[in-house]
Amino acid sequence: MAPPSDSDDSAPIPAGAISKLLIVIAMQTEALPLVNKFHLVEAEESIFPTGAPWIRYHGNYKGLHVDLVWPGKDPVLGVDCVGTVSAALVTYASIQSLKPDLIINAGTAGGFKAKGADIGDVYLASDVAFHDRRIPIPVFDMYGIGTRKTFATPNILKELNLKVGKLSTGDSLDMSPHDESAILNNDATVKDMEGAAVAYVADMFSTPAIFVKAVTDIVDGEKPTAEEFLQNLVAVTAALDKAVTEVMELDTDPTKLKAKPIIKPKVEPCDDDDELPPPPPPASGSGEDWEATTPLAAGNPFFTALIAKSHLHPKFQMWIPPRFQHRLAEPEARTAAVLHSGGKSWATSYCGHLKMKKLDAGWSEFAVDNRLLVGDACVFELVAMGAAGGLEFQVQILRGGLPAEVVTSKGLTSDQPILIVD
């Protein structure tokens, strides 16, 4: 996010840059449909300061790690902690603890009929600003308004039926004459109670953020704002849920997006731990390249790994056997890799530029999510190697070690494949 400039060309989110997504939502009613949709679970231990009522849900959605946070309930009054203060605080704490690659601030908003808004419309905000921070002193007035452009998302706009408009934020549900004047000056189509605060914090820490807002009430309509908001909240939340899901699905379903996906595994820096020796090969190893040549049922090259302490806490690294590395050809550099297992996917990084090549960033989540233990084994089947170097492995997890047919299978051909998983 950046302050306004003479150019409308804000930098798009680069393809291949996202593996950790943070969704910031103001109300429990808005949050729970997404929690259920993405099968997120509430964190057992809070990452937030003691006393903060903020709630975090987390999980993996088709290789993307998702954290969803909302400010919780007021401990005295029991209502949702809405408004800019709570939004700014929970966004700050989440950025510091979770280090997200992208923030989606999803929520409901009021819309302006004069700008073409209608109940149930979903908007992607192009700009955000405050309308209730009035500081009539030169330069301070610009700081109070705090106009910022959001990150450009051309793929979303191309593929989804979302409207685009400017978002104005204030701490009141209704609209005073002063607020109305400021909103008009902001040229806003929708108004909410947290967006600009999330944008302010995200901009401070150089974290890209996008804003998806569903219209619950028509601010310049005939019905009282509070009445219309409560009347439409549940139904409009369903539209919000659908829109956020579609944004996520653009990445996970390639048939929906012909161009490069919006959200892809992040290629993170690799820790060069060459001083740590790789775990020993399986006991059957005789120096021959049996791991790379023994076929599975699919006929793809594969390698095996018997899980040792060095694969797990605290380093969490998976070395690639030297005799298998030539199968990966290029790259001799950091590359995105995806591990598929049990119908789920995890984003990792292949550190091809190191002397001891390995899977690094993201391997820890795979190991923890699948509860790998010392003595278990994994079979890594190379199922795809993209033109740009991206790798995909189908991973079969074998509790308690490798079966005998793998250990003693030298000499088998593709006419006699091994089927490990039924």
Delimiting residues of CATH 3.40.50.1580 domain(s) in the chain: 20-251
Between 271 and 369, the higher pLDDT residue: 369
235 to 120, 239, 328: CA distances (angstroms): 8, 7, 49
Take residue 375 and report the two structure tokens written for it. 């003595």
What is the predicted pLDDT for the residue at 404?
Answer: 59
**pLDDT tens-place string over residues 84-105:** 999 999 999 999 999 998 899 9
CATH class, domain 20-251, is alpha beta
- Please say if the pLDDT value at position 182 is more than 90: yes
Q: Which amino acid is at 135?
A: I
What is the predicted pLDDT for the residue at 268?
Answer: 53
Q: Is 30 a catalytic residue?
A: yes
What is the predicted pLDDT for the residue at 327?
Answer: 72
**pLDDT tens-place string over residues 288-316:** 344 444 455 556 788 888 888 888 876 78
**pLDDT tens-place string over residues 203-232:** 999 888 989 998 998 888 888 888 888 888
What is the predicted pLDDT for the residue at 9?
Answer: 36
Q: If pLDDT is split at 50, 70 and 90, which confidence band does 76 have?
A: very high
**pLDDT tens-place string over residues 132-161:** 999 999 899 999 999 998 877 777 777 787
Take residue 30 and report the two structure tokens written for it. 């808005």
Q: CB–CB of 210/151 below 8 Å?
A: yes
- The residues facing 164 across adjacent strands are 124
User: 121, 132, 192, 217: which one is catalytic?
Assistant: 217
- Please say if the pLDDT value at position 408 is more than 60: no
Provide the percentage of residues in the chain whose pLDDT is more than 70: 76
Angle between helices 195-204 and 84-98 (to 10 degrees): 30
What is the predicted pLDDT for the residue at 292?
Answer: 45
Between 234 and 405, the higher pLDDT residue: 234
CATH of domain 302-398: 2.40.330.10
What is the predicted pLDDT for the residue at 68?
Answer: 95
**pTM, full prediction:** 0.58
Q: Is 217 a catalytic residue?
A: yes
Query: What is the CB neighbour count within 10 angstroms for residue 268?
Result: 18
Q: Which of 166-180, 298-312, 316-330, 405-419 has the lowest mean pLDDT?
A: 405-419
Delimiting residues of CATH 2.40.330.10 domain(s) in the chain: 302-398
